[in-house]
Amino acid sequence: MSEGARRRLLEIARASIEEHLKTGNLPHLQEEDQELLQPLAVFVSLKQAGTLRGCIGSIEADRPLYLAVSSAAVASSTQDPRFPSLSLEELPSTTIEISILSPLKRMIDPAEIQIGVHGLFVSHGNRQGILLPQVALEMGWDREMFLRQVCLKAGLPQDTWQWGAKVYLFTAEVIREKVP
């Protein structure tokens, strides 16, 4: 992805959060850049002083990238159940990180997992969980711990990956703002 498109996605994410916090609405966006029009799966993470403050997205590539980023940015600032909604006063000290996901690939062997390269998505029954590639690296996890943690994130027993859960790998192109 071009540097210009990367910068524009960060601008869209920040402007979407700001508009929503001020008015309760999403900004009216129109893009002509072909890179931003392709449908891609995306997650938006918010951090304050390096600590997670919100993260929401979708594994579905069902809308243009710029709209997916706008929607995920607002959702991560107001709908992540782990955190209270972000306030307008907090926004200047909040760093935005956008993860553009590759298509999912079914994991056959845990040895396929490359820490820092692959994220994990687990599905079992009606439970699902996802961890982005950067999480295992930031937490210092090995493959087995990464697998256990994605199961726990899905609300499953930590060893479910060994007996019936479907585990998928994906990569992510990560776009980060500079820390304020």
Q: What is the pLDDT of residues 30-49, one digit of tens each?
A: 898 999 999 999 999 999 99
| pLDDT the model gives residue 158 | 97
Question: Which runs of consecutive H residues, i.e. helices, occur in the chain?
Answer: 3-23, 34-37, 65-78, 133-139, 143-153
| pLDDT the model gives residue 179 | 72
142: containing domain: 105-171
Structural domain contains residue 178: no
- Name the domain boundary from 54, 82, 101: 101
Place of tokens 């304020």: 180
The CATH number covering residue 161 comes to 3.30.1490.150
pLDDT band at 169 (very low <50, low <70, confident <90, very high): very high
Cα–Cα distance measured from residue 134 to residue 117, given in angstroms and rounded to the nearest whole number: 8
Cα–Cα distance measured from residue 89 to residue 17, given in angstroms and rounded to the nearest whole number: 12
- Report yes or no: 12 and 67 within 8 Å, Cβ to Cβ: no
User: pTM for this structure?
Assistant: 0.93
pLDDT band at 27 (very low <50, low <70, confident <90, very high): confident
Average confidence score pLDDT of the chain? 96
**Whether residues 74 and 136 fall in one domain:** no
Cα–Cα distance measured from residue 25 to residue 83, given in angstroms and rounded to the nearest whole number: 20
pLDDT band at 180 (very low <50, low <70, confident <90, very high): low
- Segment 164-175 shows an average pLDDT of 97
**Whether residues 42 and 131 fall in one domain:** no
**Whether residues 64 and 92 fall in one domain:** yes
- Segment 59-68 shows an average pLDDT of 97
